[in-house]
Amino acid sequence: MKLNYNCGTREHLLARRSFLGGMAAGAVVGGLGLFSSPLAAAELAKQQKRVVVFNMHGGLSQLESWDPKPGTDTGGPTRAIATSVPGIHVAELLPHTARQMHHLCLVRGVNTNEGDHGKGIYMMLTGRKQTPAASFPEIGAVMAKALTPADASLPGHVRITPGGSGGRGNDSAYLGPKYASIALGNGNPPENTNRPEKLSETADKQRNDFRRFADTSFLERRRTAMTDAFTYSYEQAEQLMRQRDIFDVSKEPESEQQRYGTHDLGRHCLLARRLLESGITFVQVSHSNYDTHNENFNFHLEQMQEFDYAFATFVSDLADRGMLDSTLIVVLSEFGRTPRINHYYGRDHWGNAWSVALGGCGVQRGAAFGQTNANGTKVDDGEVNHAMLFHTYLSAVGLNSSHNFDIGGREIPMADPAFGPIKEVLA
């Protein structure tokens, strides 16, 4: 694919740094005003915004987490406990998180009306309904493009997966492979980032020097989007190899590893903190699995016990480090789970009345927005959907979610233009 990329297109011209400079100076830059205000851009230039998403894979039960309904026909055995915010209660499975509630904002009126795993997670990560006609970038790719400094030496979009070997994701759609995720399979450093033993450091440097020399000669006459992508891939790989330790959670002090818990999610949360501290824009942590059609309560006890302590430690650490003002935290799933308890003591798929938790940058803290009815079967107040949440994530980090990406001269809305952010949730 040959793109007209080197001849004044905005994609090429709007290198991140010059874009920020232009916005801060009040200049009109090609209509791609991603930030809601010059002040926001200036602030961002000072302090890079970051986002972390916890994907509760399979469909976290809102009744066993953010919106318990004890003593009702749908509540199951789960009781509610008080939190650090008077008047806000969460499920008893979250005792440590409850103590961090003053940093968090619960959105309890989510109605995505979707009960399919694939469609549900697509909606939640892209803010759009899945259609055959178009493919949209996931939130990680959007944030990486919008927030990552152009001269960043590290990738802007990283996913920490419960298993697997790693590799690149197919999640950036029209934003291009530069913003596709790098997966850290089971929290391990990116694949193939160790220099082969047979290749000396000197020989490796000579190889790269020669590549750059050849590239420079070639690009003077024939620069295209594709050549840039190739060049970027090599440069990023080299940078990754040089900074491989950033992705290696075992480099954290033993005491920190113990503090987060030695199970996979504990390691992954600590790794997420390490990556965000290193300046990576977007990190997604997945915790599997919550698709509890069978024995919902036993499995949520098991999973939430892992999540609660590791997540609460993560939130507390970000607060202690002063990172909450610049880091948006999102805890989402593809959907919630049915209020009705099935004959296996399970809960099934349910997209009609469930919860998402936010925290940190740009959102109200110690708040709960939206409300379900007494037994959680429908949203009573403050109903929101995936698109509104997506707008909210963008707005929370200072982006203007009503603006467009300019992709090869074609303007594509960053978020579904039929909706807007949840203003009540924004700080």
If the CB atoms of residues 13 and 374 are measured against other proteins, the closer one turns out to be 374
If the CB atoms of residues 184 and 361 are measured against other proteins, the closer one turns out to be 184
Shortest distance (Å) from residue 73 CB to other proteins: 7
Shortest distance (Å) from residue 362 CB to other proteins: 31
Shortest distance (Å) from residue 29 CB to other proteins: 46
Shortest distance (Å) from residue 332 CB to other proteins: 18
For CA atoms 203, 207, 208, 212, the dihedral sign is: positive
Beta bridge partners of 384: 110
Shortest distance (Å) from residue 16 CB to other proteins: 37
Using CB under 8 A as the criterion, which residues of the chain lie in contact with other proteins when the complex forms?
58, 70-71, 73, 76-79, 162-163, 264, 287-289, 291-295, 299, 301-303, 341, 343-344, 346
If the CB atoms of residues 236 and 288 are measured against other proteins, the closer one turns out to be 288
Shortest distance (Å) from residue 375 CB to other proteins: 12
How far is residue 336 from each of residues 57, 120, 128, 237, 384, measured CA to CA in Å? 11, 10, 18, 38, 14
Shortest distance (Å) from residue 292 CB to other proteins: 6
If the CB atoms of residues 81 and 229 are measured against other proteins, the closer one turns out to be 81
Shortest distance (Å) from residue 267 CB to other proteins: 13
If the CB atoms of residues 292 and 401 are measured against other proteins, the closer one turns out to be 292
Give me the DSSP letters along 70-124. Answer: TTSTT-TTPPEEE-SSTT-EEETT-HHHHTTGGGEEEEEEE------HHHHHHHH
Q: What's CA 21's distance to the chain center, in Å?
A: 26
If the CB atoms of residues 164 and 177 are measured against other proteins, the closer one turns out to be 164
If the CB atoms of residues 112 and 296 are measured against other proteins, the closer one turns out to be 296
Q: How far apart are CA 351 and CA 317, in angstroms?
A: 32
Consecutive H or E run containing 299: helix 296-320
How far is residue 299 from each of residues 83, 290, 332, 377, measured CA to CA in Å? 23, 7, 18, 22
Confirm if 63 and 374 have CB atoms less than 8 A apart. Answer: no
Q: How far apart are CA 397 and CA 293, in angstroms?
A: 36
Q: How far apart are CA 356 and CA 392, in angstroms?
A: 12
Q: How far apart are the first and last CA of the chain?
A: 43
Q: Is residue 165 exposed (0-12), middle (13-18) or buried (19+ Cβ within 10 Å)?
A: exposed
Instruction: Answer whether the bond into residue 289 is a cis peptide, omega within 30°.
Output: yes
If the CB atoms of residues 56 and 425 are measured against other proteins, the closer one turns out to be 56
Q: Which residue has the tokens 């998402």?
A: 356
> Which of left, alpha, beta for 192 (phi over 0: left; psi -120 to 50: alpha)?
left
Three-class SS of residue 419? coil
If the CB atoms of residues 93 and 175 are measured against other proteins, the closer one turns out to be 93
If the CB atoms of residues 9 and 375 are measured against other proteins, the closer one turns out to be 375
Shortest distance (Å) from residue 59 CB to other proteins: 10
Q: How far apart are CA 37 and CA 333, in angstroms?
A: 31
If the CB atoms of residues 299 and 354 are measured against other proteins, the closer one turns out to be 299
Q: How far apart are CA 159 and CA 253, in angstroms?
A: 22
Shortest distance (Å) from residue 200 CB to other proteins: 39
Q: How far apart are CA 55 and CA 58, in angstroms?
A: 9
Shortest distance (Å) from residue 67 CB to other proteins: 17
